[in-house]
Amino acid sequence: MKNIFVKLIVASGFTLMLNACHKEEVVHISQPLVSTANAITTDTLKGTIKGTLLTGKTYYFSSDLTVNDGDTLLLQSGVHLIAIGDGLTPATSPEIFMHGTFISLGTKDNPNYITVKNAADLHTQAAAQKYDNVLLGWWGGITCTPAAATSTHPNPQGGDAIIKWTHIEFGGGPAGASDDQSFYTSGSPRYNIYYANITKNLIIEDSWFFGSKDDNVRTAGGKVSIMRNTFELCGGVGGEFFNMKSGTVGDLAYNMFIGAATNSLKASDAGTTGVQCHVNMYNNTMVNGGFRQTKTGRGGSIDFEKSARGSIYNNLIVNCRFGVRITSDADVKNVAYNNQLYYGYSPALVQQFYSLDGIGVKQSGDILSTTPQDNNPMFYGYDVNLFNFTTNPGPVNASIQPYNVIAISGSNFKLLAASPGIGKGKTDITPLSSVTTTGTYGTTITLPGKDIGAYQNDGTGNQH
């Protein structure tokens, strides 16, 4: 009879061991909701849309807009796209979620406007040196990212953004429920444009940016061609005009920057794409940048930081709190730079032509002096000594900065024939030309010019 137990023991000892059974998980996860896109039939836009905004017309949106993967939103020339919001909460600062292709084809004679309803009033306040409302962040900007993966579209890549002769203004409302927490945490300010389509193209040409709360444009991947644009008054207490992270590859040239909170152009390989941030910056003009950034250890015109590579040539840097700043953790061996023209009003600015905490030093083709107010660039219509940077070395509140220190305000930044920058540019450098398409939906790259800065005496370069 004991046999029974012996058998039972043997059975328990061996068969049970082999019979542990683990059932695979049965998983049901809600799929991303993709709404069918509606054609554009009225001037009030809402929900998911695709199609064309027609020449000369004005369109409004007061809630978030979405363009699906594979769809296109095209603005013909002379279109006004108006965000209606108060910028206080995510729900009242609408955003454009762009998972498809965005095209804004303004023209020199008939530019497009992507702005807010009270834009005119805000410009008036800015001109009166009242910036609290100007830098409030009234809407959520254009966010270009791949759509959420679904079973039918497992690997969406997002689309191109092609922006020509377009004014984009007053973005920066707080992020909220609809935003991807990986780059817009709740409550943080959004940008006029966020672009993170690493295999796609971001083309911004001949356009104008004004009044973002923090960064104006941020890229976290993408092939870029940023040509001949004007950037004014962006960033309340920090933020860059154009902030590039890992995966960004391309050229930025002939841009006019005035009144950045921090840098005009910043390149860093932060983020994890495996594609090194590699950008060439040439023939840009940067004026009065970096004074509203309250933290030490930041830049004021051009920064190459963490592992970024590329080149810096022919830039005109005037009264910026810091000049070219190449930090020692940049891909130092692969950052080429030369032929910059610097002007500094005060001794403090002159000392920082090459930021003291960076590794950059004066190059053979640079025009810089250790004496303040040497090498006046001789702008056609702008007094480089109109603001006393000695008494206001930064950081400063926006409210003490006169309008013409941080915005174009009728000034003319072309160089007079006698300017020290004329003919001192390096022209035998090659743009990266990462965006290869040309034509209406492509880019028009202006090659490096012989005159330092964004405006060439032969009339090429920045056309504004």
Partner 1 sequence: MKKTLTLFLLTFCYFVSFAAGTSSVKGIVTDKTTGDPMIGAMVILKNKDGYSRSVSTGLDGSFNFKNVPEGHLEIEVKYVSYAQSEENFDLKRGEERFFKVQLESKVNSLTDVTINARADSGSDKSARRLVQKSDQVINVVSAKTIELSPDITVANVTQRVSGVTIERSNNGEGQYAIIRGMEKRYTYTLIDGFKIPSPDNKNRYVPLDIFPADLISRLEVYKSLTPAMEGDAIAGAINLVLKDAPDKFTVWANLGAGLSQSVADRGFTEFGNNSSTYRSPRINNGDNYNATIGDFSNNPLHFSNSKLPIGTIAGLSIGGRTTNKKFGALVSLSYQNIYKNTNGVFFQTDVDPVSNAPLVTDIQRRVYSTQQERTSVITRFDYQFNKNNKISLDAAYIDLAQNQYRYTSDTSLTLARTGMGQGRVTESPRSIRNVQNIYNFNIHGDHHITDQLSVNWTAIYSKATANENRYDLSLITGRTLQADGSVAQQPVTVDALKGQGQTFAYNSDQDKSGYLNFVYTPEIANTKVEFTAGGMYRHKTRSSTFDDYTLGLPLNNSTQTFNGNVDNNTFAVSTLQGTATDPLNYDFTENIGAAYAQFKFTIGKLQTVGGVRYENTDQSWTDALPVTQLGKTGSIKYYDFLPSVNFKYMLSDQQNLRASYYSAISRPNFYELIPHTSGDPDADYQEVGNPYLKHATSDNYDLRYEFFPKALDQFLAGVFYKKINDPIEYSLINNGLGYVSEAGNFGTAHNYGFELDATKYISRFGVRANYAFTQSSITTTKRQDFKDANGNNTFRTVDQSRPLQGQSKNTGNLSLLYKDSKSGFDAQVSAVYTGERINSVSAYLDNDVWQKGFVTLDFSAEKRIFKNFYIYGKATNLLNTPYQLFIKLPYPALAAPGASGQAVEYQQAGKDTFVRRDTYQQYYILGLHYKL
Residues 335-354 that bind partner 1 (CB under 8 A): 347, 351
Place of tokens 């002159």: 350
CB of 71 to partner 1, least distance (A): 15
For partner 1, give the closer residue by CB, 6 or 128.
Answer: 6
Residues of span 422-461 touching partner 1 by CB under 8 A: none
**DSSP secondary structure string for all residues of 403-452:** HHHHS-TT-EEEEPTT-TTTT---------------STTS--PPPP-SSS
What the block records as the tokens of 381 is 């219509």
| Tally of CB atoms within 10 A around 126 | 22
How far apart are CB 222 and partner 1 at their closest, in Å? 12
Q: How far is the CB of 123 from partner 1 (least distance, A)?
A: 17
The residue within the footprint of partner 1, chosen from 183, 191, 195, 345 (CB under 8 A), is: 183
**Binders of partner 1: how many residues, by CB under 8 A?**
99
Among 42, 328, 391, 440, binds partner 1 (CB under 8 A): 328
169 scored as a contact of partner 1 (CB under 8 A)? no
Taking the complex as a whole, how short is the minimal distance between the CB of residue 401 and partner 1, in angstroms? 12
Q: Least distance (Å) from partner 1 to the CB of residue 200?
A: 12
Our finding on whether 410 is near partner 1 (CB under 8 A) is no
Our CA dihedral for 361, 366, 370, 371, rounded to 10 degrees, sits at -160
Cβ-based nearer residue to partner 1, 184 or 382: 184
Between 19 and 41, CB nearer to partner 1: 19
Cα-based distances in Å from 445 to 41, 169, 460: 36, 24, 11
Q: Does 374 bind partner 1 (CB under 8 A)?
A: no
- Contact between 146 and partner 1 per CB under 8 A: yes
CB of 42 or CB of 155, closer to partner 1: 155
Over its C-alpha atoms, the chain yields an Rg (Å, rounded) of 26
364 vs 344: CA distance, rounded Å:
19
In order of 98, 147, 152, 196, 384, the CA distances from 38 in angstroms are 15, 17, 20, 25, 51
Give residues 14-43 in contact with partner 1 (rule: CB under 8 A). 16-17, 19-34
Listed residue (184, 197, 240, 232) closest to 215, CA to CA: 240
Chosen residue from 56, 120, 121, 270 binding partner 1 by CB under 8 A: 270
Positive/negative CA dihedral, 181, 187, 188, 194 = positive
Q: Do residues 197 and 221 touch, judged by C-beta distance below 8 A? A: yes
Smallest gap from Cβ 163 to partner 1, in A, equals 22
